[in-house]
């Protein structure tokens, strides 16, 4: 029987997840409290220790956005939670200036986030994984003005917190291709989200020979490919890419304007077809693309192999893993061609339309899905319609649900490509903090946003 601990407190806000999005919200809420508009906010984070992409921080990882797009600077450059103040507090400001770069390593940025999060330790419970958000007992008229946020702690104890509002920011869930769906529990296969902890346990970490396949075409795949080449010389690596060539990310100045906070309004005000067109037009800024300097590094690495005649790593373009079978002697991949012919270039390998190759391990750098909010909110689904949101990220709900529910990182379809990235964190946090205050103040907190869905009961 699961032990259950129900907190007697009723919190104004419970934030689910404490990554960069909800951390930025915590800062915005503190600024709001300092201005005389306090809200009691508590955050739940499933990690035992604060890490941002901790198992992906290989030594080659660098940020792909400016350090000025930190948690707060674009909204409040004088904030004590800025990246510049972090450098100052750690005695590295002059040294960072001497680097002459806008792009810190992801390792340093992770340390910045941990430093910022440490200031909110009394508001965040680590090691608690939220299981669901369920309605509290309704009033006589059926109105629900509180929800219960149910989590499990590290000892398997169920904990319940009552909230007047909820902000979900649980990030992406690893996307596992259909060919590997039956091998999720095989220790020889990892999604890139768990790469570092996994590779350190592999035989190649002890110098034993291995054959490893990397699947994917984006930045994560490139970083894993380089890390295996540089740090595990006993490993032979094949990198499977569906396209005919590695594609550079478009980070040119005019294109980068789509990540400005003001562009969120441009996207949101479009029709659904217009939103889809804008998002599709700029997918090459973030999906299945790689920093240009990293592509050049990989090309030079593969060229050096041609010079010395030692081919330890291979880039296999126009290739896809069609099926995967795990056996006692490895993982067999059925690899198919994605093009009528596969041109062979630097480090590239063509071949028959279908072939089978055996590997000792596979790294899936296959991206993320953004669906966890639907699972967590399933007990409220009858009130939430199609899970749409308003401009301030509040979910449109039927009148019975008077509890504001906000989403961070699940609104790309309505708010644009920047929604899952870091660029709009300060502006979005301020918008949600202000909306929370307006929704929860006495006499106003039950008000639904414009366009709220009609309840099933009313529709009947």
Q: What range defines the domain where residue 417 resides? A: 4-172+370-459
User: In a 10 Å sphere around its CB, with 0-12 CB exposed, 13-18 middle and 19+ buried, how is residue 126 labelled?
Assistant: middle
Contact between residue 214 and residue 366 where contact means Cβ atoms under 8 Å apart: no
* pLDDT tier at 172, thresholds 50, 70, 90: very high
Q: Are residues 9 and 110 in the same domain?
A: yes
**Residue-level pLDDT at 239:** 98
Note whether 76 and 38 are same-domain residues: yes
> Would you place residue 339 in the very low, low, confident or very high pLDDT band (cuts 50, 70, 90)?
confident
Domain CATH number, residue 230: 3.50.50.60
**DSSP H helical segments within 150-202, as ranges?**
195-199
Query: Does 72 share its domain with 121?
Result: yes
Residue 284 has pLDDT above 70, yes or no: yes
Helix axis angle for 261-268 and 425-440, nearest 10°, is 70
Convert the pLDDT of each residue in 314-332 to its tens digit: 999 999 999 999 999 999 9
Single out the residue of 250, 439, 446, 213 nearest to residue 331, CA to CA: 213
pTM to 2 decimals?
0.91
Residues 109 and 242 in one domain: no
How much is the pLDDT for 53? Answer: 77
Q: Does position 57 have pLDDT exceeding 80, yes or no?
A: no
Encoded tokens for 304: 């050096």
Q: Is the pLDDT of residue 399 over 90?
A: yes
Domain boundary among 364, 385, 418: 364
Residues 312 and 340 in one domain: yes
Q: Looking at 340, 364, 388, which one is the last position of a domain? A: 364
Looking at the structure, tell me whether residues 46 and 83 fall in a common domain.
yes
Is 161 domain-assigned?
A: yes
Inside any domain, residue 148: yes
273 located within any domain: no
Q: Looking at the predicted structure, is the pLDDT value of residue 244 above 50? A: yes
Q: What is the mean pLDDT of residues 180-187?
A: 95
Residues 104 and 233 in one domain: no
Q: Is 456 helix (H, G, I), strand (E, B) or coil?
A: helix
> Is the residue at 143 inside a domain?
yes
Distance CA 193, CA 102 (A): 25
Opening angle at CA 55, ends 94 and 128, nearest 5 = 105
| Cα–Cα distance, 326 to 344 (Å, whole number) | 29
Q: Which tokens is 430 given?
A: 């301020």
| pLDDT (0 to 100) of residue 460 | 34
What is d(CA 131, CA 133) in angstroms, rounded to the nearest whole number? 7
Give me the mean pLDDT over the 136-154 stretch.
94
Radius of gyration for the chain, computed over Cα atoms and rounded to the nearest angstrom: 24
CB 166, CB 149: distance < 8 Å: yes
**Same structural domain, 240 and 356:** yes
Q: Which of 301, 336, 364 is the last residue of a domain?
A: 364
Is 207 inside a domain boundary?
yes
Q: Which two tokens stand for residue 101?
A: 């770069």
Name the band, by pLDDT with cuts 50, 70 and 90, for residue 5. Answer: confident
Is residue 204 assigned to a domain?
yes
Mean per-residue pLDDT over the chain, rounded: 92
Task: Assess whether 49 and 117 both reside in one domain.
Answer: yes
- Identify whether 259 is part of a domain: no
Residues 189 and 89 in one domain: no
- Asked whether residue 275 is assigned to any structural domain, the reply reads no
Residue 102 carries which DSSP code? S
For the ranges 2-6, 155-159, 202-206, 268-272, the lowest mean pLDDT is seen at 2-6
> Average pLDDT in the 250-267 region?
94
Token output for 97: 């200036």
pLDDT in tens, 422-441: 999 999 999 999 999 999 98
Alpha-carbon span 277 to 275, nearest angstrom: 5
What values do phi and psi take at 170, rounded to 5? -100, 5
Q: How many domains does the chain have?
A: 2
Do residue 21 and residue 139 come from a single domain?
Answer: yes
Nearest residue to 420 (alpha-carbon basis) of 18, 17, 14, 20: 20
Give the whole-number percent of the chain exceeding pLDDT 70: 92
C-alpha 131/C-alpha 278 separation (Å) is 35
User: Is residue 130 helix, strand or coil?
Assistant: strand
pLDDT band at 83 (very low <50, low <70, confident <90, very high): very high
pLDDT, position 3? 65
- The mean pLDDT value for 239-267 works out to 95
For residue 350, what pLDDT is reported?
Answer: 47
What confidence tier does 444 reach under pLDDT thresholds 50, 70, 90?
Answer: low
pLDDT band at 216 (very low <50, low <70, confident <90, very high): very high
Mean pLDDT within 71-87: 97
Whether the per-residue pLDDT at 401 is higher than 70: the answer is yes
d(CA 315, CA 298): 9
Name the token pair of 361. Answer: 């391990």
In this predicted structure, the answer to whether residue 2 has a pLDDT above a threshold of 80 is no
User: What is the pLDDT at residue 334?
Assistant: 97
432, 377: one domain:
yes
Judge whether 203 and 210 are in contact, CB under 8 Å: yes
pLDDT, tens only, 86-104: 999 999 999 999 999 999 9
């Amino acid at each position: 029987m699961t032990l259950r601990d129900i907190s007697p407190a009723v919190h104004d806000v419970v934030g689910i997840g404490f990554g960069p999005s909800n951390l930025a919200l915590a800062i915005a809420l503190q600024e709001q409290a300092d201005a005389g508009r306090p809200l009691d906010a508590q955050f739940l984070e499933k990690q035992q220790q604060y890490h941002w992409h901790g198992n992906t921080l290989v030594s080659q990882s660098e940020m792909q956005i400016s350090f000025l797009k930190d948690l707060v600077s674009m909204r409040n450059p004088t904030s004590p939670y800025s990246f510049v103040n972090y450098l100052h507090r750690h005695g590295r400001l002059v040294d960072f200036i001497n680097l002459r770069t806008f792009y810190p390593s992801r390792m340093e940025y992770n340390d910045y986030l941990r430093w910022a999060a440490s200031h909110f330790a009394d508001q965040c419970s680590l090691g608690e994984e939220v299981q669901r958000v369920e309605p509290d007992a309704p009033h006589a008229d059926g109105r629900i003005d509180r929800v219960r946020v149910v989590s499990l702690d590290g000892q398997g104890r169920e904990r319940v917190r009552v909230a007047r509002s909820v902000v979900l920011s649980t990030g992406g869930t690893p996307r596992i291709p259909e060919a590997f769906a039956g091998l999720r529990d095989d220790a020889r296969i990892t999604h890139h989200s768990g790469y570092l902890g996994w590779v350190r346990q592999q035989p190649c970490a002890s110098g034993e020979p291995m054959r490893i396949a990397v699947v994917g075409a984006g930045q994560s795949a490139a970083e894993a490919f380089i890390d295996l080449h540089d740090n595990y010389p006993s490993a032979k690596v094949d990198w499977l890419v569906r396209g005919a060539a590695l594609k550079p990310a478009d980070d040119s100045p005019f294109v980068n304007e789509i990540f400005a906070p003001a562009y969120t309004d441009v996207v949101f005000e479009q029709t659904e077809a217009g939103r889809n067109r804008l998002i599709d037009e700029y997918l090459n800024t973030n999906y299945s693309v790689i920093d240009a300097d990293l592509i050049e590094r990989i090309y030079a690495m593969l060229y050096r192999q041609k010079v010395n005649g030692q081919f330890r790593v291979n880039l296999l373009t126009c290739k896809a893993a069609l099926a995967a079978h795990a056996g006692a002697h490895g993982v067999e991949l059925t690899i198919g061609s994605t093009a009528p012919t596969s041109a062979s270039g630097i480090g590239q390998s063509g071949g028959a339309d279908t072939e089978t190759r055996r590997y000792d391990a596979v790294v899936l750098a296959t991206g993320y899905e953004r669906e966890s909010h639907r699972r967590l909110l399933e007990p409220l689904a009858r009130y939430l319609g199609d899970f749409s949101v308003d401009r301030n990220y509040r979910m449109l709900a039927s009148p019975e649900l008077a509890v504001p529910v906000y989403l961070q990182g699940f609104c790309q379809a309505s708010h644009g490509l920047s929604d899952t990235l870091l660029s709009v964190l300060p502006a979005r946090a301020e918008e949600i903090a202000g909306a929370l205050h307006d929704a929860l103040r006495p006499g106003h907190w039950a008000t639904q946003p414009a366009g709220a869905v009609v309840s099933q009961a009313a529709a009947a």
